């Protein structure tokens, strides 16, 4: 198994890509630390993994709270060590022109998508550098490499995630720590449902969106989890500072 005896902390693991990643990591033998602001959902995921024979536990975590993030990471690292951190927790916003986007929406997106990733890296790095190894995978987006219309705040935040990862890889590499970003295209999660809910006909919008992809479909969380697993594992031992695009070929069009 690719992650046997390794400890992996995953944010936003109560649903969507985070949940699929927790399940995938557990299948590969990792001790999975499920974190989320949604305590009921997060506990349910940890319990389900444990029922299947995996080693898993839940910690409630608001990624925008740096002190709380440090406390959770410090406790996990002291108890088990810390091999992998997946900064997956993120948020979107309703489609709107930049000039029509309220400052409060912009600030919330930045807090979750940028500060949340920053906090995870900030908390994990001292432990990983001290032990001489570690893998950080940050979840970006297609918006990390393409500016999406009427998604200026989201594009701002996900572009920052990719460049932060590059800076982190350059800085932490000499200590044996790798950092990468996975950049998914539109994926069938609750975040997508929120995005589509702003359309007059959400189902028609979904079908139209799928037709824009060369594969003629949207991604699913399990496919993104597989990419995260690759970047986190020793199979990617010479991959750092990379943005792995998993978008069904959309960005080639």
Query: In whole angstroms, what is the distance from residue 141 CA to residue 247 CA?
Result: 9
Could you tell me what percent of the chain has a pLDDT over 70? 100
Does position 25 have pLDDT exceeding 80, yes or no? yes
The H or E element that residue 141 is part of is none
Q: Between vectors from CA 142 to CA 141 and to CA 148, what angle results, nearest 5°? A: 110
| Mean pLDDT value of segment 41-62 | 98
Per the annotation, the verdict on 195 as an active-site residue is no
Q: What are the structural domains of the chain?
A: 7-188+220-245 (3.40.50.720)
Q: Are strands 56-60 and 31-36 parallel, antiparallel or unpaired?
A: parallel
Does position 212 have pLDDT exceeding 90, yes or no? no
* Residue ranges in 54-102 assigned as alpha helix (H): 66-80
Mean pLDDT taken over the chain: 95
E-strand stretches of the chain: 7-10, 31-36, 56-60, 84-87, 134-139, 177-184, 243-246
Q: What pLDDT, on a 0 to 100 scale, did the predictor assign at position 208?
A: 80
Beta carbons of 10 and 86 less than 8 angstroms apart = yes
Confidence of residue 188 (pLDDT cuts 50, 70, 90): confident
| Mean pLDDT value of segment 169-179 | 98
* pLDDT tens string 85-127: 999 999 998 888 999 999 999 999 999 999 999 999 999 999 9
| Mean pLDDT value of segment 123-143 | 97
Query: In whole angstroms, what is the distance from residue 165 CA to residue 136 CA?
Result: 9
Contacts of 230 (CB under 8 A, 6+ apart): 236, 244
Does position 10 have pLDDT exceeding 90, yes or no? yes
Confidence of residue 19 (pLDDT cuts 50, 70, 90): very high
Confidence of residue 158 (pLDDT cuts 50, 70, 90): very high
Q: Supply the pTM of this predicted model.
A: 0.95
User: Could you write out the DSSP letters of every residue in 179-237?
Assistant: EEEEEE-SBSSHHHHHHHTTSSSHHHHHHHHHHTSTTSS-B-HHHHHHHHHHHHSGGGT
Does position 184 have pLDDT exceeding 90, yes or no? yes
At residue 221, what are phi and psi to the nearest 5 degrees? -55, -35
Confidence of residue 82 (pLDDT cuts 50, 70, 90): very high
Residue 106's closest CA among 165, 160, 184?
A: 160
Question: Which candidate in 154, 175, 195, 213 is catalytic?
Answer: 154
Q: What pLDDT, on a 0 to 100 scale, did the predictor assign at position 180?
A: 98
Q: What pLDDT, on a 0 to 100 scale, did the predictor assign at position 43?
A: 98
Query: In whole angstroms, what is the distance from residue 43 CA to residue 154 CA?
Result: 28
- Which residues are 86's β-sheet partners? 10, 137
Could you tell me what percent of the chain has a pLDDT over 90? 82
Q: What pLDDT, on a 0 to 100 scale, did the predictor assign at position 172?
A: 98
Does position 200 have pLDDT exceeding 90, yes or no? no
Beta carbons of 36 and 11 less than 8 angstroms apart = yes
Q: What pLDDT, on a 0 to 100 scale, did the predictor assign at position 132?
A: 98
């Amino acid at each position: 198994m690719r992650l046997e005896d390794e400890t992996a902390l995953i944010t936003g693991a109560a649903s969507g890509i985070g949940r699929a990643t927790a399940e995938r990591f557990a299948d590969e033998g990792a001790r999975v630390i499920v974190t989320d602001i949604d305590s009921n959902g997060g506990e349910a995921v940890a319990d389900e993994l444990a029922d299947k024979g995996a080693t898993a536990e839940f910690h409630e975590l608001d990624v925008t709270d740096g002190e709380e993030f440090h406390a959770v990471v410090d406790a996990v690292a002291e108890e088990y060590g810390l091999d992998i951190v997946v900064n997956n927790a993120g948020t979107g916003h309703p489609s709107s022109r930049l000039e029509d986007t309220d400052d409060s929406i912009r600030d919330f997106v930045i807090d979750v998508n940028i500060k949340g990733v920053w906090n995870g890296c900030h908390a994990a790095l001292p432990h990983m550098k001290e032990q001489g190894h570690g893998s950080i995978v940050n979840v970006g987006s297609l918006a990390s490499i393409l500016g999406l219309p009427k998604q200026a705040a989201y594009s701002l935040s996900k572009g920052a995630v990719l460049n932060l990862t590059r800076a982190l890889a350059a800085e932490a590499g000499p200590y044996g720590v790798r950092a990468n970003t996975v950049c998914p295209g539109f994926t069938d999660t609750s975040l997508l449902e929120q995005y589509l809910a702003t359309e007059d006909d959400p189902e028609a919008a979904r079908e139209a969106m799928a037709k824009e992809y060369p594969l003629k479909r949207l991604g699913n969380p399990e496919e993104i989890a597989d990419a995260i697993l690759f970047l986190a594992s020793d199979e990617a031992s010479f991959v750092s500072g990379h943005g792995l695009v998993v978008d069904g070929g959309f960005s080639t069009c």
